[in-house]
């Protein structure tokens, strides 16, 4: 029998391979890069946040408008199952203070090594440096490798080609025109979990680029009129803002940018103090002390926050205590664009779920399945991206098994 071909060696592709190998199928996995799992390894730099330990309903809500498609996958392979899977590979995990789940070694490499060793022992055949070019007239897959072009027959094919960020790691979106030749529509890729551009002054850029804003609260009202407020950390960059707190709002900020050309959120620089308390303290500022020095000594407001405050509030208003206090509690930050898509942690857009059946097989291309980030969904950082990639790869792999079994049964009737 012809092998099952998987194209893409990230978590989704490897998880699909695991399902197929367990079912006894011969599996060839092709990847354009010299080694597999490169973006997975990058995600592990600084600590591999593999999933999240929050309650299941809250976890599922992180997938927003695609919750109805992602939740059934997570019901089969969610955070608890993923942690058990890691344990079966000899990699123990722990829950951090924020609820995020990490391997005890905090690295992706040991997990990937153990996983690949098990897959190879089960018979996985890896073909690195093979870039997919589409299909030929005989419906065989065409690849380009260092020696030239090759063709590969298949009984089924699983596409796990990633989104469009981090091209140097292989996630470059070059598969989109290949599916277009088969009349498969693809929602345009957009940056997700990305930074945003702001019109900072040269003074702020020179003093604060790279500075973290810790323990701030971000409040944003999205296009639907819903206001969310969340505490966390972010970073002032030379071009704008980025960081985990920004990523949590990235999709909604991007949507407003697309519609209006700009988006404004508000920062509470002193979330542990009420406005009334701040006003009372400002009235007691000694005349001999500068405002910056007083804010630092009285509220421990660091240089980056103070500079951001002075960037926002003109000097003639520094003595207007109610205005100064309200700005400290709700400092407006306007973003004008996202950072480039290749710098994003992940991308939105991709193959719509409406083009797929329950096995994640393309309705217009029987025997061709899709999984991972190339599907049209997005989620914030915090372990949600990886969990859904694993879960969709598992679903697609098992979908291939079911489809091949059903196809074989029809042929024997």
Q: Which tokens sit at 344? A: 């994003």
Cα–Cα distance, 318 to 342 (Å, whole number): 41
Contact criterion met (CB below 8 Å) for 204 and 311 = yes
pLDDT of residue 243: 94
pLDDT of residue 129: 97
Phi and psi torsions of 120, nearest 5°: -65, -35
User: What are the pLDDT digits (tens) for 162-199?
Assistant: 999 988 888 899 999 999 999 999 999 999 999 999 99
- DSSP structure string for 239-266: SEEESHHHHHHHHHHHHHHHHHS-EEEE
Q: Which helix (H) or strand (E) holds 263?
A: strand 263-268
pLDDT of residue 413: 63
Overall size of the chain counted in residues: 413
Closest CA to 101 of 85, 117, 80, 119: 80
**Residue 411: which pLDDT band, with cuts at 50, 70 and 90?**
confident
Phi and psi torsions of 70, nearest 5°: -85, -35
Q: What percent of the chain has pLDDT over 70?
A: 100
Average pLDDT, integer, range 206-232: 95
pLDDT of residue 80: 97
Cα–Cα distance, 238 to 207 (Å, whole number): 10
Cα–Cα distance, 161 to 28 (Å, whole number): 15
User: What are the pLDDT digits (tens) for 116-143?
Assistant: 999 999 999 999 999 999 999 999 999 9
Closest CA to 18 of 70, 72, 89: 89
Q: Which residue has the tokens 């997975």?
A: 40
Closest CA to 125 of 236, 19, 218, 4: 4
Tell me: pLDDT of 106 over 80: yes
Closest CA to 386 of 97, 15, 61: 15
CA dihedral of 373, 375, 379, 381, whole degrees rounded to 10: 0
First to last CA, the chain: 18
Q: Which helix (H) or strand (E) holds 148?
A: strand 148-152
Closest CA to 249 of 266, 273, 236, 271: 266
User: What are the pLDDT digits (tens) for 294-305?
Assistant: 999 999 999 999
Domains of the chain: 4-191+346-412 (3.50.50.60), 196-338 (no CATH)
Q: Which tokens sit at 223? A: 């296009």
Cα–Cα distance, 115 to 144 (Å, whole number): 27
Output b/e per residue, 54-67; b: 16+ Cβ within 10 A: beeeebbebbeebb
CA dihedral of 87, 85, 165, 62, whole degrees rounded to 10: -100
CA 357 to chain centre: 24
Cα–Cα distance, 273 to 350 (Å, whole number): 44
CA dihedral of 176, 177, 182, 183, whole degrees rounded to 10: 80
Tell me: pLDDT of 408 over 90: no
Q: Please, which residues have CB within 8 angstroms of residue 260's CB and are 6 or more apart in sequence?
A: none
Contact criterion met (CB below 8 Å) for 382 and 62 = yes
pLDDT of residue 207: 93
Q: Which residue has the tokens 């730099």?
A: 45
User: What are the pLDDT digits (tens) for 3-15?
Assistant: 999 999 999 999 9
The neighbour count for residue 404, using CB atoms within 10 Å, is: 18
Q: Is the dihedral of CA 311, 317, 323, 328 positive or negative?
A: positive
User: What are the pLDDT digits (tens) for 52-84?
Assistant: 999 999 999 999 999 999 999 999 999 999 999
- DSSP structure string for 364-398: TSTTEEE-GGGBS----SSSHHHHHHHHHHHHHHH
Tell me: pLDDT of 312 over 70: yes
Phi and psi torsions of 362, nearest 5°: -65, 125
Q: In what order do the strands lie in the sheet with 196-197?
A: 331-335, 263-268, 211-221, 227-236, 240-242, 196-197, 337-338
Average pLDDT, integer, range 264-291: 95
The neighbour count for residue 344, using CB atoms within 10 Å, is: 24
Helix axes of 11-22 and 384-412: crossing angle, nearest 10 degrees: 40
pLDDT of residue 57: 97
**Residue 398: which pLDDT band, with cuts at 50, 70 and 90?**
very high
Contact criterion met (CB below 8 Å) for 21 and 124 = yes
Tell me: pLDDT of 114 over 80: yes
């Amino acid at each position: 029998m012809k092998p099952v071909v998987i194209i893409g060696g990230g978590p989704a592709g490897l998880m699909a391979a695991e399902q197929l190998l367990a079912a006894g199928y011969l599996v060839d996995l092709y990847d354009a890069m010299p080694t597999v799992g490169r973006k997975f390894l990058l995600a592990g730099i600084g600590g591999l946040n593999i999933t999240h330990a929050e309650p299941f309903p809250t976890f599922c809500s992180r997938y927003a408008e695609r919750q109805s498609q992602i939740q059934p996958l997570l019901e089969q392979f969610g955070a608890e199952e993923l942690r058990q899977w890691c344990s079966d590979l000899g990699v123990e995990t722990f829950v951090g203070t924020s609820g995020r789940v990490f391997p005890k070694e905090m690295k992706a490499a040991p997990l990937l090594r153990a996983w690949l060793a098990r897959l190879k022992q089960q018979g996985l055949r890896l073909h690195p440096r093979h870039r997919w070019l589409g299909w030929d007239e005989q419906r065989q897959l065409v690849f380009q490798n260092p020696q030239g072009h090759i063709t590969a027959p298949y009984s089924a094919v699983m596409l796990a080609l990633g989104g469009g960020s981090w091209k140097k790691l292989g996630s470059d979106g070059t598969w989109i025109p290949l599916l277009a030749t088969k009349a498969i529509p693809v929602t345009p890729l957009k940056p997700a979990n990305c930074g945003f551009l702001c019109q900072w002054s040269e003074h702020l850029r020179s003093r604060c680029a790279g500075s973290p804003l810790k323990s701030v609260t971000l409040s944003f009202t999205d296009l639907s009129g819903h206001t969310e407020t969340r505490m966390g950390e972010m970073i002032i960059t030379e071009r704008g803002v980025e960081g985990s707190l920004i990523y949590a709002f990235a999709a909604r900020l991007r949507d407003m940018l697309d519609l209006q050309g700009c988006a404004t959120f508000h920062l509470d620089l002193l979330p542990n103090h009420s406005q009334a308390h701040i006003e009372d303290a400002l009235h007691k500022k000694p005349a001999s002390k500068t405002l910056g020095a007083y804010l630092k000594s009285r509220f421990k407001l660091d240089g980056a926050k103070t500079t951001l405050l002075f960037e926002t509030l003109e000097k003639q208003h520094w003595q207007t205590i109610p205005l100064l206090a309200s700005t400290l509690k709700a400092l407006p930050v306007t973003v004008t664009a996202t950072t480039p898509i290749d710098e994003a942690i992940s991308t939105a857009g991709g193959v719509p779920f409406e083009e797929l059946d329950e096995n994640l097989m393309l309705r217009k291309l029987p025997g061709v399945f899709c999984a991972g980030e190339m599907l049209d969904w997005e989620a914030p950082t915090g372990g949600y991206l990886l969990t859904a990639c694993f879960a969709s790869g598992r679903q697609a792999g098992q979908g291939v098994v079911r489809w091949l079994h059903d196809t074989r049964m029809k042929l024997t009737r």
